[in-house]
Structure 1
Amino acid sequence: MKKIFYSSMMMLLLFTSCENYLDVNEDQTNRADFTDLAPKQMLAGAINNYTNHQIITLGNYGNRAAYVWGLNSGYTSTDAAWTYTFDSSSYRTIFENSYLFADNFQDILDKETQFPNYSYHFGIAKVMKVMSMDYVTALYGDAPYTEAFNSAITAPKYDDDKTIIPALFKELDQAKAYFNSPSANVVGLGAEDIVFHGDLTKWKKFINTVELRLLLRLTKTTDAALVSLRTTRFAALNANKNFITEDVTVNPGFNTSTLNSRTPVFRAYGQNESFSAATSANLANAAGDFAARLVNGTLNDANITTGIVDPRRSRIFTLIGTSVVGNVQGVFPLTAISKIPTFYTGRTGASTEIANKNGAERDAYLMQAAESHFLQAEAIERGYLTGVAKAEFDAGVTASFNFYSRGFGTIVLAALNPTTYLASIAGKNGLDYTGSTNKISAIMTQKYIALAEWNGIELYIDHMRTGFPVLPLPFGVVQTNRPNRLIYPTSEYSSNSANVPNVSVGEIFTVNAKTPYYLQ
């Protein structure tokens, strides 16, 4: 590993009439003027790179690992998420890109001495860097951290993930300090803030919500230091319960001009660059059998009693006949399977041209309001926060219905009624808060439905730490449980062999010293 500044897509160009963020596609360290770039010239590209990573790279693995997606008819695959034949080439870009994009933000932070008045930019860089490193520790455990972003160290040591976690919370504290105690001549956020458009209050709420997410990673840990950290941090967070209440979107000016200028969902799961055909990911990925049965209302077991057709289902998957047909993971389907719908790709409209425009220009989603409410519901249910868990549970369902009712581009959608749905699931174990014997199960199941496809990696981590929703294993795998982690990529074993831990396939399916902190 070495320190790199990488921009796969864009950089803010100052002194232009339109400030188009999507024009530049280069490694910015190759720029002759790199040392003179101000934080505002770097921030939009860094945010956009990370957003693409979360939605495409992390989302692809998460949706498969959490049984949201299966294979479409006519496709076969040896993907490790379905076969459990993991090795150092499996999902290697999760590790590699997490560091590339974390380093984008670190390079902004390294500008503080040169540009001391960019406090708000540094605060954003801090929280976004923490989000990148959070997924490294959750999916790999021990990782480079203290030496990872030092350009003088080409082979950084691996830190114990249990020491990285407290450091990430300190970085969140620093992010808050940048907003709460900015420099006297602080530079305001401009068009480079492609998330909240300069709204400092919303950024503070987002930082709190990210902290809440990370604290709930610690629900299962038995490590005394991390348990103490959880207690202390929740006590402080409880005194300032100020979390996001709206969907967090990213849009630097997505457009139809080139493939890389389009919103990440459409770029990966919509149409190819010439709009002549669906992407391979669109054609191959389809509904997983578990997710299909959940939204069809045909799951009836000790964990979930349904019988309720979810009104959101045709906006989560396409219907075949009158229902969602899912693929049993590990089976190569020969009959029709429900696909990714136009609501997800955004490719819908009165004409092909308008449909492509609607899809390509649509907002990307960094976090849904529904997730914020379900995080709060879980924290209250566990006694970590004060409040009414059912109220946040209902708010999470309502936020999800609002999300699936929101139009985009030229599209206006019929509103889905959350009140009717909440009444219909009353008494249903695993779906209704009051009617569930295990409230955490109900919270996780509703969160699963709300975030399916949009943030699959969170669903996978939630399942691993809570056990809910209870997911079947892919057909034909010999293992009796899901993998607790991924194996470090080949690039680390070749370039940082003296430091990278050796992880065997067997070790990822057992709890051991190499298992990520949140499962120990």
Structure 2
Amino acid sequence: MKKILYSSIMMLLLFTSCEKYLDVNEKQTNRPDFDALTPNQMLSGALTNYTSYQVTTLAAYGNRLAYVWGLNSGFTSTDPAYTYKYDSSSYTACFESAYLIGDNFQDILDKKASFPTYTLHFGVAKVMKVMCMDYVTALYGDAPYTEAFNNEIIAPKYEDDKKIIPALFKELDEARAFFAASGAAPMGAEDCVFGGDKAKWLKFVNTIELKLLLRLSKTTDATLVALRTARFTKLNASQDFVIQDVTVNPGYNNGTLNSRNPVFRVNGQNESFSAATSANAANAAGDFAGRLVNGSINDANITSGVVDPRRSRMFTLIGGTVVGNVQGVFPLTAISKYASFYTGRTGASVDIANKNGGERNAFLMLAAESYFLQAEAMQRGYLTGTAKTAFENGVKASFNFYSTGFGTIVIATPLDPVAYLAAIDAKNGLGWTGSTDKISAIITQKYLALAQWHGIELYIDHLRTGYPVLPLPFGVTETKRPNRLIYPSSEYSSNSSNTPDVSNADLFSVNTKTPYYLQ
């Protein structure tokens, strides 16, 4: 599967932004000198490829399904994220890229016998491979796992996702053991996330486990419920989670299109800087996200009236407000687009703005996400602690994120989270005191903090919790959002004997094909 099925898309994903590390990772096992490559020569490329997958492929799909994005004026679309008409050609990169990148990390792990001292690198590879498989199971359910990364098996069996999930937690434990091993070869610049700081990696492992455990908040499967209880008992003992934004930068620059920060590369300017990219031109604010940050939602789910100070750093303003597109409608009037804070293209001149965008850090996890995960776990009684404090810390972390400059940008007037928290406190669905359902407030504030940056989590959260309550696109005949995607045509053609049949109707019902966390 891994060497044959995805060879055709390998060059579309892997790119070189820091020649020293990424170039050697480009061809991986197809290289005649692959056996001589050491884990430190492979790590940065794998991390960079995963980051691009998360902040572009997954973010784009999630932002559409979570109603953060809609269409810009003058554009039409048959995108299944707006029509809910899916087939095996719909968002295939969500599956294919996860396996290709997971294979990047497995190739590092396969070096254990030849280079046993690179245990820190193996720890990173373990947790990142888990992240790939997490999104496969969350978006598709049953999937290849045990046989997926075996060179000798070109048609791997599909396994019950309820059986895969416990194995992922075991892999997280194996990652911890790698980080704890003595005599490890140090990580340096090839660790373009934490620069070789294993203590920070351990915090990240804990936070990823927290996220995966909260995926199980709705499940009624007895085995998974028992797993959730046991794992939270151990996690609760340390509660050592991410407290700062987790950034990635292997040396992003404006030398070529593929060497740029992936958000800027996809959503900023074209290679010659002569025009906006197609994504920049076509995507714009969604109506729900626009109304939420404008403070104009007042219904049984959210009582607002509070303008969100972050809105101008999320979307452009038209007449002093965010104007969003009603999904399913092809707009002809002006719609708010990406704000320059999101694309990174801002500065005193065009050249400086492009440089700022191209060289900017990418974000693997925002500190706000970690705090909102903790708040939800505390509110559900899974972790000890004060959920309200974690909730407020999440809001503060988001305001700090939107108040932090980059490149030549210095933000002179930071946003004030204290004033915002006071203004929303009595508001149902937004503030702590006024929300009858605290989970609703936590997930809605998480939505605001992660919108655009980590859109796939907003979509999964909505499926899992029902929050925030989102309108459906205009004209769709379905009554809910899809629970999953259909396996890509590449699987049906190359692994047809194993790939389950999934129809468009299966996406909108709960059955054995529905991902584990919704059963």
Band the TM-score falls in, shorter-chain normalisation: over 0.9
**Residue of structure 2 equivalent to 1:274:** 272
Letter in 1 for 2:45: G
Q: How far apart, in 2, do the equivalents of 1:388 and 1:30 lie?
A: 52
The ranges of structure 1 where at least 4 consecutive aligned residues each deviate by more than 6 angstroms after the TM superposition are none
Q: Within the alignment, does 1:237 sit opposite 2:235 as a pair?
A: yes
Q: How far apart, in 2, do the equivalents of 1:497 and 1:116 lie?
A: 38
Q: How far apart, in 2, do the equivalents of 1:313 and 1:20 lie?
A: 39
State whether residues 12 and 41 of structure 1, in contact with CA within 8 Å, keep that contact through their aligned partners in structure 2: no
Letter in 1 for 2:420: Y
State whether residues 372 and 390 of structure 2, in contact with CA within 8 Å, keep that contact through their aligned partners in structure 1: yes
Q: Within the alignment, does 1:384 sit opposite 2:382 as a pair?
A: yes
Q: Within the alignment, does 1:156 sit opposite 2:156 as a pair?
A: yes
CA displacement, residues 392-437 of structure 1 (integer Å, 9 cap, x when unaligned): 0000000000000010100111200000100111200000012100
Identity of aligned residues (%): 71
**Residue of structure 2 equivalent to 1:515:** 514
Report the TM-score, using the length of structure 1 for normalisation: 0.97
Report the TM-score, using the length of structure 2 for normalisation: 0.97
| Matched residue SS, 1:59 | helix
| Matched residue SS, 2:363 | strand
**Residue of structure 2 equivalent to 1:48:** 48
State whether residues 16 and 258 of structure 2, in contact with CA within 8 Å, keep that contact through their aligned partners in structure 1: no
Deviation, 1:199, is 1.1
Deviation, 1:460, is 0.2
Deviation, 1:2, is 3.2
Pairs within 5 Å for 1:119-518 = 119-180=119-180, 182=181, 184-413=182-411, 414-518=413-517
Q: How far apart, in 2, do the equivalents of 1:49 and 1:2 lie?
A: 16
Q: How far apart, in 2, do the equivalents of 1:100 and 1:21 lie?
A: 18
State whether residues 215 and 517 of structure 2, in contact with CA within 8 Å, keep that contact through their aligned partners in structure 1: yes
Gaps of at least 5 residues in structure 1 are 14-18
Q: How far apart, in 2, do the equivalents of 1:224 and 1:469 lie?
A: 27
Q: How far apart, in 2, do the equivalents of 1:404 and 1:191 lie?
A: 27
Q: How far apart, in 1, do the equivalents of 2:149 and 2:349 lie?
A: 48
Gaps of at least 5 residues in structure 2 are none
Letter in 2 for 1:136: V
Which of 4, 10, 14 does residue 9 from structure 1 map onto?
14
Q: How far apart, in 2, do the equivalents of 1:381 and 1:185 lie?
A: 41
Deviation, 1:23, is 5.1
Q: How far apart, in 2, do the equivalents of 1:69 and 1:345 lie?
A: 14
State whether residues 441 and 468 of structure 1, in contact with CA within 8 Å, keep that contact through their aligned partners in structure 2: yes
CA displacement, residues 265-318 of structure 1 (integer Å, 9 cap, x when unaligned): 000000000101000000100000000000000000001000000000000110
CA displacement, residues 167-212 of structure 1 (integer Å, 9 cap, x when unaligned): 00000000011112x1x43100111000001111111000000000
CA displacement, residues 351-390 of structure 1 (integer Å, 9 cap, x when unaligned): 1110000000000000000000000000000000000000
Q: How far apart, in 2, do the equivalents of 1:206 and 1:497 lie?
A: 37
Deviation, 1:32, is 1.9
State whether residues 380 and 387 of structure 1, in contact with CA within 8 Å, keep that contact through their aligned partners in structure 2: yes
Q: How far apart, in 2, do the equivalents of 1:446 and 1:48 lie?
A: 28
427-436 or 364-373: bigger deviation:
427-436
State whether residues 130 and 168 of structure 1, in contact with CA within 8 Å, keep that contact through their aligned partners in structure 2: yes
- Give the number of equivalent residue pairs: 513
State whether residues 95 and 136 of structure 2, in contact with CA within 8 Å, keep that contact through their aligned partners in structure 1: yes
Deviation, 1:111, is 0.4
Deviation, 1:28, is 2.4
State whether residues 25 and 46 of structure 2, in contact with CA within 8 Å, keep that contact through their aligned partners in structure 1: no
State whether residues 49 and 101 of structure 1, in contact with CA within 8 Å, keep that contact through their aligned partners in structure 2: yes
Letter in 1 for 2:459: Y
State whether residues 17 and 251 of structure 2, in contact with CA within 8 Å, keep that contact through their aligned partners in structure 1: no
| Matched residue SS, 1:95 | helix
State whether residues 22 and 44 of structure 2, in contact with CA within 8 Å, keep that contact through their aligned partners in structure 1: no
State whether residues 290 and 322 of structure 2, in contact with CA within 8 Å, keep that contact through their aligned partners in structure 1: yes
